[in-house]
Structures are given as C-alpha cells and as structure tokens.
Structure 1
Amino acid sequence: MVNLTLRFVNCCRAADLRVSTAEVLDAVQQLALVDPYDEFQFHTVLRTNFAKSHRDQDRFEQLYKLFFHEMKSDLTGVEITPESAGFDEVIAQMAEELESDGDAMKQALLDFMAGKPLGYLDLINKLHKQEEQAATGLKSNMTQLSSRLEVMLKINDMKQKVLQFMGGNHAVVDDSVKGRIEDEFSRRLESAYDLLTKEPKTKNSGLKQVAHSDEHYTEIGQIPFSSLSGEEIEEVRDVIRQLVKKLEEIATLRYSVAKKGDIDVKKTLRRAGKYLGIPIEIVRKDKPLRKGKIVVICDVSGSVWATARFMLNILYALQECFSKVKSFIFVSELAEVTDYFIEKEVNDAIEAIMKDAPINYYAQTDYGMAFQNFKNGHLPDLDKKTTLIIIGDARSNYQNPQDHILRQLRDKCRRIIWLNPEQERYWSDGDSEMYTYKSHCHEVRACGNLNQLIDFIQELVL
C-alpha cells in the first residue's frame, strides 16, 4: 500500500499538484489507522492530505480517478485472466518494436496504456505550462498548439498500431477476448486524449466578484471613461482630488491610532515608582506601521487607456496610504514606469508615459507575453504583503493567454485584483480571456466609470 501511495504521489507531482514529503508521511501514518481496503476511508485520507485547498480538489479528483480506476481495470487486475494476459502480451510486443524507434513521446503513451501514467502526465503538464518565446518582428503564439497537435498525431499512430497488432499475427490472442482488449486500449487512449485537450480548470470558490456599484454621482458617475468629454474629464479629476484628500486624512488617522501597541508592562511599572507604585503613566510598545504594497500591471492599448489613466492617477495620489507603489504598462511587451511618477507631476508623468515608454504602442495586445515578461524580470517585486492590480479588458487577440503564469503570480503575492473597464456581460465575447484569468484572481470587478472607481478605491484604502 505504501508503494502504491508513493506512485500516486509521483503522478500528482508530475501533474503539478504540489505534495510535500511531510504530507506523504502523514498520509502513510494515517493509512495505518484506517482500513485501506475501504475506498471511502482510503480516498478521504489522501484527499485530506494532498488537496490542501478548494483550488486543488478538482485536480486531485481527476488524478485519483485516473490512477486508481481508469488505470486499474479488470483487464490489468491482480487475477491473471485470458484478457489480462492478452493485454500484457500486446503491450510487451509493442514495447519491443518501439525500443528501436527511440520516440520518447510514443514510449510515454505506451506506458500510459500499460497503467503507468507518470511519464505522460509529466509530458502534458510541461505542455500546458509551455511558454511562448518572445520573437522579434512578426510574432506568433503557435508553439503550444503545434506541440498539442504533435501529441494528437502520436495518439492516432498508437491507435493504428493497436489495430495492426490485434488484426495481424503479432499478438497470439484468443478471438473471444480480442474485442474486450481493443475496447480497453481505445478507452485508455481516449483518456490520454482528454488529458491533452481538456486543460485542468481551477476551482476558485473564494473569488470576490463585484457586479454593482453605489451611485455616488448620478450623471457624471455613470458615464464610461472612454465617453467623457473634455469638461467632464476635468469634473472627474476634481471629484478624484476631493476623494484622495479625504481618504488620505482617514488613512493617516487610522495608522496613527494603529501605531499604539500593547502595554509595555516593564516600562509602565518602572515609571510608576515616581508615583508610589501607582501606574499613572501608561507606556505602550512601539508598533511599526504595516502598510501594504501595490504593484500595478496596466494595459495601455487604445481600448483600455481611458480607464487606465484615471487608475494610475488616483493610485499615485494615494501613495501615502501604501509603503510602495510600482507600475508597469504593456501592449505586448512590458515596461516599468515607476520612475516617471517619481520624477514628474502625475499628469505630466502620464503624458510622458504615452510618448516615451520603451514599448510598441501599435503592437497587438498580448497578455500572455506581458505576464511572461513580468515573471522573467520582476517576480521578486511580489511578496505576501503585495496586492497585484491588473487593469485591462483581457482581450488578447486570440494569442496564448498563458494563464498558468498568473497562477504562479497568485502564489507569490497577497492577492490579485483584476479591474476590467468592460461590463461583465461582454467578458465572454470574441477574444476576451476574462473567464480564463478570473479563476486565478482573488477579486474581479468592472471598473469603467467614476462610481465603480470610487467603490474600488474606498475598499482598497479603507
């Protein structure tokens, strides 16, 4: 039972379900206290130890079903039957033929058909996480698709080989069991195909999705930022200035009060000596302020910029409320623009960003490439005190979304908030990847007008 559990753990790790050595030891110890032949108890022990959050449960169930049910059918059971003997014979003869071929992908598929899914799961996990390489000139995000196509072709080749073995003289198998063996091979290859084409979906039950906003301003508050006239833009800026001033005062008072820590008993008693032992002067321990950090990744393509300029403006006006604010912009490639706000006044900095930042403003929007650039060059900017704010419509021109990178960023920071200037009813239209990305976010909200922006800023600061 221990060896079987360890093999399952290896498959979990190959499929990117993180299982630590301590969790394996705990599971083995707990299996000794239950009846491991009772599947309910066995399944409960493994799930309790290996599926550590709601986000891991679906993936665990998929792997458990694959390893303990689909890979352990009657044909490959402990009891030796004509079916199982014939199945093993076909596998052995196909393995001999592939040995001279040297095709690692076909070997992984053959092992999968033989009930050893480790190599194929590792192959699929690497394929799902395959990152597109940044290219100069004409860029294409076809790397992952072409890799999947190659695996599909190998699966079809394996189907043809199975039919050749079953129909020819390679396998001496009784005609009465050929049909069952062919069905079992077909089922396992179909399972391999499903693992390839159906990417694992992450359960995000803790997602905060804000659909409605309070009506702070009846007229100006409901107009989309992209539709504001010149006069309305100035009116919105006045509202934002008043809001910023109010929030700064509230935040300053809150942090001032929060600085008072617990009573320092030793110092209080020492000073009480001046008053005949009566603790008249209460001394409190110094408590350092715990201000959060903000990292902003902002899409500055034409469809989003009207919202992004207001967001960048207000976040930098609220720098006193946070210990650090860092900003990045992108269309396809990513560029840091933090220094622009340090060296210039906010409005001047925003104008300079739209002219001088080292990015191609006329490129096609590519969120996957932007996330890859951030991961490669700026991952240390994230820690467990950092809130990552992404501003964009998630429209990536049908390029590879590379959402697995967003999952890695989630693991590094305190929370991810996605602000989409489009209303939610448009998130599933056309090239929008919003429903792909939101499974890795802690909070998503529409933020395309003044009322929605005020709601977000008040919650962020207060």
Structure 2
Amino acid sequence: MEQTLLGFINTLRQHDVRISTSETLDALQTADVIGYSNQQLLRDALAASLTKTRDEKALFHQCFDLYFLAKGERHSEQQQTKTESPHPSQFELPDAVAGDAAVQNALSAPMVQAALEGNNDAVAMAIEEAAEGISLDNVRFNTQKGIFRRRLAEAAGTGQFDRAIDALKAIDSEELAGPIEWLEQQRYVLDMAARDAVEHQLLLNANAAGRAIQQQMLRNTRLSALEHYHLKQLPTLIRALAKKLATRHRQRRRVDRRGKLDMAKTLRRNLAYGGVPFHTYWKQKRKDQPKLVVLCDVSGSVSTYARFLLLFLYSLTDVMPRIRSF
C-alpha cells in the first residue's frame, strides 16, 4: 500500500499541490496509524497532512476520488462481470485431451489457473502489479492509450490465455469449442480491465499534462498575440514566475556569528596571539531592501503589456514589499 500512496502523492504533485519530503513521510506515518480500512477517515487524515490551502484541498478531494474511489468501483465491476460469466466448473476437457502435455502446460499458467479456480481478485491484482511494471503513471495523452493498453494487458497475462487457446485449437476437436470460448471470454475480461485501468490513469494525468503544455505555450508566446480568453490564465502563470524569483532571491539580509568563516579577517585580527584564533570572524551578507518605482503607460496600444507588468509587480510584493506603481 505504500507504493499506492506514493503514487497518489505523485499525482497530487502533478496537479500543482505542493508536497515536501517531510509531508510525504508524515502522510505515510498517518496512513500506518489510521489504517486503510476506513476510507473516509483515511481521506480526512491525508487531507490534513498534505494540503495547506482551500484550493489544494479541492484538488486533493478530486484526485482522491479518481485515484481510490473510482478504482474500487472498477474492481467491483470486474468482479460482477466475472460472476456473470460462465462458471469454471463448465470448463471440462475430454479425457484424451486432458492428458496432453502441451495442453496441461498451457493450462497451468497462473492467470489461467486463477480463472479456473474462480479467483475474482486475480484480475485486479494482476492489473495493479503490471501497472507498476510498465510505469502506467507516465500515460499523459489520448494517443498513448492503445500502446499502454497492449503493454498492460500483455504484462497482466493475456498471453497466457492466448497460449492455452492455441494449444486447444491445435487439437482440432469440436468438443473443445466450449472450453475455447470460455478461455476467450476470460481473456476479454482481462483485456477490458487493462483498458479501464489505462483510461482511469489518463483521467488523473491528462488535465495536469494539458495544463503544463498550455502554460509552456503561454510562456513562449508574445503577449500581443494572445487571445482575450488566454489573458485570464496569465495570473496563475505570473504568480508561478514571481514565486520562482522570490525563492531564488529570498536570503537572510544579515548573517552574523554563523555561516562561512572569514579566514583572512580571522588570521589578521589574531596576529597578536601568534595566529591562534581566539576571536573568529564570520562573513556578513548585507542585502539592502530595494525600492522599486514603476511608471506605466496604460494606453490602448500597450494595455496588454501594462496589465502583465502590474500583475507581475503585485505578485512580487512577497519579495519587495516597497513597490509603488503609477
């Protein structure tokens, strides 16, 4: 379950929910204490551990529903489909065929045996294990559905059903029509489960991937070429740009009695003691508080640029509080 929870946290990060390493460890510890049996309690506990703002809570609940609740509903549908399918007891082979070594070898495959035993959880478990093996989290676009579905189905075990079907067809007996049809139906159930898993993961990732592509496009497009409805998306992009600048330049304005030792000054001031550093001196960083005054032309010809600049300055108040714009 830890890998599932880590995958969920990675999905939250893709949806711009800020989660640090310490918060990830807190979430894992919270899940160990709360347990996974009570889903509502787990949801509230993880929300308290991983979110900090109202917008992040809304994104958290949306992703949680897609990642856990929808996944549970999909597994229930798979079990219902298998319940409605012909019972494994109807899979009967003639005595002459049952002793065939090739047939027995094909029918002994894990997925085929699970289907014959009526194990309704085998498909869900095989899909979950195969999804980790092929990195299903990397699916981002609708054009990738086909290749990820094929990879996931093959990793889950559709090839095992294909070999069993080919082994029975090679005997060429009308008495095997029923068992072959039953095996084909079980293969179809596994293939549909792979399709649903890919579409489910695409729902989680597509919005985040599409938003990232759109933001990249906005960064590389001239402001004069942007349409009016794109301008409404600029504040989010500007805040991210200002936050990046703030993170890069947010330093202590004065560092004293700590930090990097000033070797030249320490040795020079301790010459009277034979070079023994009785008194240490530390390098001090002095960063003056900048004052920024901006004059903006707000005529119609440059209104787009002025709006961008004013929004950017407003977002910079976290770094430079003394900003005046006219």
**TM-score band w.r.t. shorter chain:** 0.3 to 0.5
TM-score, with normalisation over the residues of structure 2? 0.40
Which protein is richer in helix relative to its size? 2
Which protein is richer in strand relative to its size? 1
TM-score, with normalisation over the residues of structure 1? 0.30
